[in-house]
Structure 1
Amino acid sequence: MLTFTPYENPTYFAILALGLLPIVIGLLCGRRFHWYETLISFFFLVLIFGGSKLSQGIALIAYLVYEVLLVWGYIEYRKKKNQTGIFVGVVILAILPLVVVKITPAIQNGTQSIIGFLGISYLTFKVVQTIMESRDGVLKKFDPWFFLQFLVFFPTISSGPIDRYRRFKRDYDNVPKQDKYLKLLQKGLHNIFMGFIYKYMLAYIFGTLLLPKLQHQALMAHGLSWSLVGVMYVYSMYLFFDFAGYSLFAIGTSYFMGVETPINFNAPFKSHNIKEFWNRWHMTLSFWFRDFIYMRLVFFLMKHKVFKSPKTTANVTYIINMTIMGFWHGVTWYYITYGILHGVALVVNDWWLRYKKKHQAQLPHNKFTEVFATFITFNFVCFTFLLFSGFLNTMFFVK
């Protein structure tokens, strides 16, 4: 049996087009066929996790049963009680499979965990946010069958974007009006077309044609070199166009299904500062960390008066939040350092914005300063992406 990685070859897109056709016809006629959407989701899950990836498919099934029962049980409990200890315990249990998957390579010389599968991180984000929204009382009704469909929505299962339970449910339960759906089709087609340009043209140029040559030259130089600088910029471009291209495919496919999955990238390299960058780069992940880690940790620290100054609270939380993001990418020094550097950069950025506001009469603000700010932000981001790539680890530490 053939196994497909989402959006990786023409055959997948051909099958996708045929699978989406009944959904498009139904929505144009003002009807949504939930039974067919469930069937087509199951079909694509088999394509993605069958054949040579059957072990991942089995892990996915076990994970889904575990998480759905866990969330369902907590929500039933939440209707009667609301103890913090139970809530914390459930969150820990929810993220436990992901933690095992992330730390296994670090403690077993690169061996992957048998419970891992493509997209486990993004499913875990959906699970945890559902638990937290239930704890907050904003999630009033819970349907285990719908929750399962929310988790395995096939256009976004492998790498996001990360949707929210209530937002997804509004789209899933409703049929867009014909004029709105026609606009969604237009936007969906545009996104898929741009995805092809990003992933199969630009990412190919940067990641396949340029990057290996520059990496080889940098390794031959045995230290700092212009080739290493080239690796930094070329890898950053490759990372953006590859990931943004995938996200465009996922969003475009979602639009064809009448689901307005949130965008993931918004011209991030135009950012004037690092905070703006994180409001433009991998936006659904950034906003998830903001809403479900940063804001809650700030509230906890202020409630318990851990720090006297709100500024100190915010600064400490920035670093903790971004360090956790680094650990999420993997338990390696370069991922963790990447997270810490961005946390420190956010602290410096907040200090500079306060300073600039206080001394705005003395500081110039014009087109040049904006371009300079963008230049500084872009180069900082590219440097941290070089760390993130692990190439420096290969270059200086791996013999």
Structure 2
Amino acid sequence: MINIQPYSNPRYFVILFIALLPLIIGLYHGRRFKTYEAFVSLLFLFLMFNGKDWIQGVQLIGYIIFQFLITFAYQKYVNSGKNKTSVFCLAVILAILPLAAVKIAPLAHNKTADLIGFFGISYLTFKTVQVIMELRDKTIKKVDPITYARFLLFFPTISSGPIDRYRRFKEDYDKAPERDKYIENLKFGTRYIFQGFLYKFIIGYVFGTLWLPQLARDALFYGQANGGLRLSWALLGYMYCYSMYLFFDFAGYSLFAVGTSYFMGIRTPMNFNKPFISQNIKDFWNRWHMTLSFWFRDFIFMRFTFFAMKHKLVKNRIRLSQLAYLVDFLIMGFWHGLTWYYIVYGIYHALAIIINDIWLRFKRKHRKQIPHNKFTKWFAIFLTFNVVCFSFLIFSGFLSTLWFGWK
């Protein structure tokens, strides 16, 4: 049996192009072959989850059935004219329950994660929770079962995003784009895929395969020779190299997903927008893993803020936003995994944004005394870059490896 992980090797792209060719021809002539498109999605899901990963395919089917039951039961409840907060909270809790079990199971040293976990469960959970929340807000009036299944099982993005929104996806899926617009899609899709090859298979390979292991060995050697977690050129090199690898590998993957989506007439949103030229940490989160960042902003940060304001938990608006940042990034840290470095990573970014907001308020009050020129702009970029790279060093877990390697 052939088992091919998404965008992992040239063979995948050959199979992808052959499978998409009838869709491309149809869309060029203004027709969307939805049945064939569904067949292609199922084919690539089969290639992803067959062989030794067949159990994950079964888990995916069970997960989709479970989420369908929750979503359409809640839709029926909302459409009946009821909208109790307790029922809404129950629906959200049930929707995130499988993901929470997958994250918690390793701590209990049991096999729950093996029973319900599969590649891409996080991103499917983000989609289902988003739909439930927008049903509550009535920004989604009705969820179509076929479109919902296509939205959840859209194979270019199922494993690692980007995270699309149901209404935006449905708008593209319901009709074929006009020829001029589709030709533009093909142009950008081709560009994104070739850019993805450059990022993931060339630049990412240099940083992640050629340089990173050697820098890790050098940093471990220096740490053992000098008694633990001491700053060294090797550790600094590891920090910068890992940051570059993380960006180019993930951005390359995201470009593949977006480019493939464009070939299918679906304009999946971009995930990265030159994050390393950010002038502050908030600007960084508006450029880095944007679909995840905006999802947390809309469905965690804003919801918590409105809840706290409604129940008058914190009267001071500045303190409220600071608390919301802590909640938002702490949840993001826990989502990455229940290990100290992911949680510290989340807290670190929350504190960085809080400090940044304090600085921006101070800057507004003293705008005449504080210079603003090319030097200050590039210094802000340099400072933000280093703050972010240090957070990625925490995120990598290498500090833990370094510590225990010394011990």
Sort the TM-score into its range (normalised by shorter chain): over 0.9
Please tell me whether the aligned partners of residues 101 and 113 of structure 2 are also in contact (alpha carbons under 8 angstroms): no
Please tell me whether the aligned partners of residues 105 and 113 of structure 1 are also in contact (alpha carbons under 8 angstroms): no
Please tell me whether the aligned partners of residues 92 and 132 of structure 2 are also in contact (alpha carbons under 8 angstroms): yes
Matched, 1:47 2:47: yes
2: distance between equivalents of 1:24 and 1:271? 37
- Which residue number in structure 2 is paired with residue 169 of structure 1? 170
1: distance between equivalents of 2:381 and 2:65? 46
1: distance between equivalents of 2:329 and 2:153? 27
Cα deviation, residue 110, structure 1: 9.6
Q: Give the alignment's TM-score, normalised by structure 2.
A: 0.97
Cα deviation, residue 148, structure 1: 1.1
Correspondence 1:277-296 to 2 at 5 A: 277-296=284-303
1: distance between equivalents of 2:157 and 2:310? 37
Correspondence 1:254-265 to 2 at 5 A: 254-265=261-272
1:189-219 C-alpha deviation (Å, 9 max, x unpaired): 0000000000000000000000000000111
Cα deviation, residue 397, structure 1: 3.0
Q: Which runs of 5+ in 2 are unaligned?
A: none
- Give the alignment partner of residue 364 of structure 1, picking from 366, 371, 383: 371
- Which residue number in structure 2 is paired with residue 73 of structure 1? 73
How many residue pairs align between the two structures? 399
Correspondence 1:135-284 to 2 at 5 A: 135-222=136-223, 223=228, 224=230, 225-284=232-291
- Which residue number in structure 2 is paired with residue 340 of structure 1? 347
1: distance between equivalents of 2:276 and 2:75? 41
Structure 1 window deviating more from structure 2 (349-358 vs 121-130): it is 349-358
Quickly say closer, same or farther: Cα 1:193–1:272, change in 2 above 3 A.
Answer: same
Cα deviation, residue 145, structure 1: 2.1
- Which residue number in structure 1 is paired with residue 103 of structure 2? 102
1:153-175 C-alpha deviation (Å, 9 max, x unpaired): 00000000000000000000011
1: distance between equivalents of 2:204 and 2:90? 42
1: distance between equivalents of 2:154 and 2:238? 36
Amino acid of the structure 2 residue aligned with 1:86: V
- Which residue number in structure 1 is paired with residue 60 of structure 2? 60
Please tell me whether the aligned partners of residues 251 and 260 of structure 1 are also in contact (alpha carbons under 8 angstroms): yes
Matched, 1:19 2:19: yes
- Which residue number in structure 1 is paired with residue 90 of structure 2? 89
1:269-306 C-alpha deviation (Å, 9 max, x unpaired): 00000000000000000000000000010001011111
Please tell me whether the aligned partners of residues 44 and 154 of structure 1 are also in contact (alpha carbons under 8 angstroms): yes
2: distance between equivalents of 1:358 and 1:8? 51
Q: Which runs of 5+ in 1 are unaligned?
A: none
1: distance between equivalents of 2:334 and 2:398? 18
Amino acid of the structure 1 residue aligned with 2:397: G
Cα deviation, residue 384, structure 1: 0.6
Partner secondary structure for residue 115 of structure 2: coil
Cα deviation, residue 113, structure 1: 3.1
Matched, 1:9 2:16: no
- Which residue number in structure 2 is paired with residue 385 of structure 1? 392
- Which residue number in structure 1 is paired with residue 30 of structure 2? 30
Partner secondary structure for residue 114 of structure 2: coil
Cα deviation, residue 114, structure 1: 2.1
Matched, 1:127 2:128: yes
1:287-333 C-alpha deviation (Å, 9 max, x unpaired): 00000000010001011111111111000000110010000000000
Partner secondary structure for residue 174 of structure 1: coil
2: distance between equivalents of 1:390 and 1:109? 23
2: distance between equivalents of 1:20 and 1:363? 55
Amino acid of the structure 1 residue aligned with 2:371: P
2: distance between equivalents of 1:140 and 1:6? 33
Please tell me whether the aligned partners of residues 100 and 113 of structure 1 are also in contact (alpha carbons under 8 angstroms): no
Structure 1 window deviating more from structure 2 (56-65 vs 107-116): it is 107-116
2: distance between equivalents of 1:111 and 1:360? 55
Partner secondary structure for residue 157 of structure 1: coil
Partner secondary structure for residue 382 of structure 1: helix
Cα deviation, residue 2, structure 1: 1.3
Cα deviation, residue 107, structure 1: 2.4
1:75-100 C-alpha deviation (Å, 9 max, x unpaired): 00111210000000110000000001
1: distance between equivalents of 2:210 and 2:148? 42
Please tell me whether the aligned partners of residues 122 and 159 of structure 1 are also in contact (alpha carbons under 8 angstroms): yes
Amino acid of the structure 2 residue aligned with 1:393: S
Please tell me whether the aligned partners of residues 276 and 385 of structure 2 are also in contact (alpha carbons under 8 angstroms): yes
1:108-143 C-alpha deviation (Å, 9 max, x unpaired): 189953211110000000000000000001111211
Amino acid of the structure 2 residue aligned with 1:99: A
Amino acid of the structure 2 residue aligned with 1:50: N
Quickly say closer, same or farther: Cα 1:376–1:111, change in 2 above 3 A.
Answer: farther
Partner secondary structure for residue 113 of structure 1: helix
1:372-399 C-alpha deviation (Å, 9 max, x unpaired): 1111110010001001001111110366
1: distance between equivalents of 2:110 and 2:398? 18
1: distance between equivalents of 2:311 and 2:114? 38
2: distance between equivalents of 1:109 and 1:204? 35
1: distance between equivalents of 2:5 and 2:100? 24
Structure 1 window deviating more from structure 2 (341-350 vs 218-227): it is 218-227
1: distance between equivalents of 2:303 and 2:329? 14
Cα deviation, residue 69, structure 1: 1.2
1: distance between equivalents of 2:2 and 2:180? 38
Structure 1 window deviating more from structure 2 (154-163 vs 219-228): it is 219-228
Q: Give the alignment's TM-score, normalised by structure 1.
A: 0.99
Partner secondary structure for residue 279 of structure 2: coil
Cα deviation, residue 10, structure 1: 1.1
Percentage of pairs with the same residue: 60
Partner secondary structure for residue 142 of structure 2: coil
